Chains A and B, each alone.
Chain A
Amino acid sequence: MQFQTLTSVVEPTFWHALAELKLDVLKLDDSTVPLAATLEPGTLVQTSEAAYSSMPACISFDRASLLRGLERADAAASPSARACRVPGLLKNVNTIEDFKALDKPALFASVANTIWQSTTSGTALTDPTELVRFLLVAYADLKKHKFYYWFGFPALTALSDAQIVRRATLAGEFGAEKTAAISSIFRDHIAEFAFLLTVDDAKNVHYAPFKDITILAREGRKFLVAFVDPSSLADSPGWPLRNLLTFLAHLQLHHVTILCGRNDLRTSRTPDGVGQQSLVLDVALGSLDIPASVSTPPAVGWERHPSGKLAPRVIDLSHMMDPQRLAESAV
């Protein structure tokens, strides 16, 4: 089974807020800071009269990503309930030398460890966004308005033999009427990242919180695990499903039905209508394979540089942040 890696999209408002955080709050303190990101459901785009292509699987960052770090009276500015927010960790160092010398693998492993703890302790049951935890290492050169940064999206590799045994579109599986009902549930619960759908005797579809999975499984009830899928590829769901499947395997489930909830559940603007991009996958999970010598299974998922290399990125925002250049261009 293959998963599409995440592509980070960082709004300038994020860097502006980071500069503010560094100057006003953190100063020379370089301990880690909580962070949040928005997982965007996967989107197709029309590339010609009859052809559609996938957009990259996006995770986006804006000013609200740093709200907890900024510790302002921003309560009312809490992000929209119509967005899927996932938690992460920012390590912002003070110098470029610190950035070079930073033990990035150790930080990455510690986030992977947090994900594994959420899996084994069951905290992911009450908050499945814990399974999407990520890392950002950064150095903000505030004099030059340049930001060096690198995202890590750890995926535990303990589950290597999961297989898709059956694949259908959501609309193909449920028909137009129930797809519309599922679309409405998806919009209402998108903030939860993962939730359950049950089907009653009258074939009506109902929402259930993710934590009900243990009860439903014990009672042998049929359910789907729905998640916000940033991918729109027909054969590869998005990266966050990887840790979610690992968690389901840890719950001793062997076969699960997954609903990959994509952008067609939010908009009428889709190639063939609602529920044609979103997928229903029957997955045979296989078993967890954890080396006896380690406490946390190995994880992968540093974001690639656009060149394809494993390397950080740099962004120059002097044209937007330098007061002198702003003044010049505002004439």
Chain B
Amino acid sequence: MSNLTSMFKGIREYWTPVLTASRFETDAVLTPDEFVAAGDYLVFKCGTWRWEAGDPAKRRDYLPADKQFLTTKNVPCLKRLHEMEYHASEKTVETDDGGDGWLATHYKGEGAPDVSDDSDLDLLDDVAAEFVEKLTMDATGTSSSTSKPPARPAASSAAAHPPPPAHHAAAAPEPDDIPDIDDMDDLAGGVSEAPDPAAVHASTSTKIVRTRTYDLAITYDKYYQTPKLALFGYDEARQPLTGAQMLQDISQDHANKTVTMEPHPHLAGVMVAAIHPCRHAEVMKRIMDKMREGGKAVRVDQYLIVFLKFMASVIPTIDYDHTMALE
């Protein structure tokens, strides 16, 4: 059945470059118009998201010029995933020369079971079931900020599973690229300010948290006809993260096969960590089927709200708003 489906998809992809007739109900995919409607609803429901036009040179003509992609910025990410949970299957994603490279590949460790289609489908079912359960909890208001990652394992289990190797925390520019502080004084040339009793500085206030942050973007993937999530992160000092550092904040369970570092689809000059959308429609379909069984049909304009709740399982420590109700 799934072979048939994929064959059908291949043929359809060939004949219809841009999806025009809605196949939301049958395949949980979106036309560009439906993507825009879902985006409008998301912006209406949650004002931290907004439409952006992006770089005109990268404009897609099947989307309105001022509604090319959605973004939310400055989203906190307090902890690394390896601090929250340990996956036996977790492997360092290979990057070139000592970690400042950008290539993240599907890693299958030696001895790791080859993931077959069947177990993939099981995983999707698990994701969908877990998701619907969570959604029910959200709706009843028993938990306002669910999808918190599981608590840190007990010390004994932490010891049994050492944290990922150090080069996982890959590195910023070489130390000798950073001018020493004397240089900085030189560069500061003549600037002085008297102590200002009216100023509260983020660097010294104990009430202000220093944390990684992410800018998120939702783009429309014409090939898969689904939304696609892209991330770009900053460290505690607001300097850009490397690709390897960003991978620390993406769940290995769901994403170690499907994260790629790639140029932002709508902006020049930034490489983002993109969650590859090849299974998005499948998961969304399963989630929607489960919800329909539970008597809760998802409307097409609610697609992105459900999608963001689903994505929260992929980036569980990135603290964006995925708690909004469907209605």
Contacts and interface: CB of A to CB of B under 8 A. Distances in A.
A266 B65 contact: no
A320 B270 contact: yes
A305 interface: yes
B74 A9 contact: yes
Interface stretch (B48-56, B110-118, B251-259): B48-56
Nearest to B235: A306
A120 interface: no
A118 interface: no
Interface in A89-107: 96, 99-105
Interface stretch (A49-57, A203-211, A281-289): A49-57
A29 interface: no
A175 B210 CA distance: 33
B232 A11 contact: yes
Given A16-B270, A312-B187, A9 B211 contact: no
B28 to A, nearest CB: 25
B48 A267 contact: yes
Nearest to B194: A300
Interface stretch (B7-15, B94-102, B129-137, B222-230): B94-102
Given A2-B198, A55-B211, A7 B46 contact: no
Contacts of B43: 82
Contact of A43 (B76, B97, B102): B76
Contact of B74 (A43, A100, A302, A326): A43
Interface stretch (A72-80, A194-202, A215-223): A72-80
Interface in B197-219: 197-205, 207-211, 213, 215
A4 B205 contact: yes
Contact of A13 (B65, B181, B269): B269
Nearest to A72: B56
Most chain A CB atoms below 10 A, which of B65, B197, B198, B204: B198
B56 A103 contact: no
B240 A74 contact: no
Nearest to B263: A326
A194 B208 CA distance: 25
B56 A45 contact: no
A239 B191 CA distance: 20
Nearest to B95: A329
Contacts of A19: 269
Contact of B101 (A10, A56, A269, A329): A329
A17 B269 contact: yes
B20 interface: no
A316 B171 CA distance: 12
A63 B191 contact: no
- Chain B facing A: main interface SS: loop
Contacts of A134: none
A266 to B, nearest CB: 3
B269 A321 contact: yes
A23 interface: no
A295 interface: no
A233 B208 contact: yes
Given A11-B270, A314-B178, A5 B202 contact: yes
Interface in A59-83: 60, 62-64, 72-74, 76-80, 82-83
B238 A57 contact: no
A149 to B, nearest CB: 10
B141 to A, nearest CB: 11
Contacts of B73: 9, 38, 40, 60
Given A56-B202, A233-B207, A104 B268 contact: no
Given A9-B234, A57-B202, A58-B74, A82 B53 contact: no
Contacts of B101: 319, 328-329
Nearest to B77: A45
Contacts of B197: 2
Contacts of B270: 11-13, 16, 320
A155 B200 CA distance: 13
Interface in B172-206: 172-173, 177-179, 181, 184-194, 196-205
B324 A320 contact: no
A310 B192 contact: yes
B187 A311 contact: yes
B200 A3 contact: yes
Contacts of B202: 4-5, 7, 56-57
B239 interface: yes
B209 A55 contact: yes
A182 B152 CA distance: 40
B264 interface: yes
Interface of B: 43, 46-48, 50-56, 59, 65-66, 73-74, 76, 78, 95-97, 100-103, 145, 172-173, 177-179, 181, 184-194, 196-205, 207-211, 213, 215, 232, 234, 237-240, 242, 264, 267-271, 319-325
Given A2-B200, A300-B194, 8 more contacts: A45-B76, A55-B74, A56-B202, A105-B190, A267-B321, A269-B321, A319-B102, A326-B102
28 contacts: A2-B197, A4-B199, A11-B232, A12-B271, A13-B267, A43-B74, A45-B211, A53-B208, A55-B209, A63-B267, A63-B269, A76-B65, A78-B53, A100-B186, A104-B189, A104-B191, A157-B196, A236-B200, A242-B198, A268-B46, A268-B325, A269-B320, A304-B203, A305-B184, A309-B188, A312-B187, A315-B240, A330-B103
Interface of A: 1-5, 7-13, 15-17, 19-20, 38, 40, 43, 45-47, 53-58, 60, 62-64, 72-74, 76-80, 82-83, 96, 99-105, 108, 146, 148, 150, 155, 157, 160, 183, 187, 190, 233, 236, 239, 242, 263, 265-269, 300-302, 304-312, 314-321, 326, 328-331
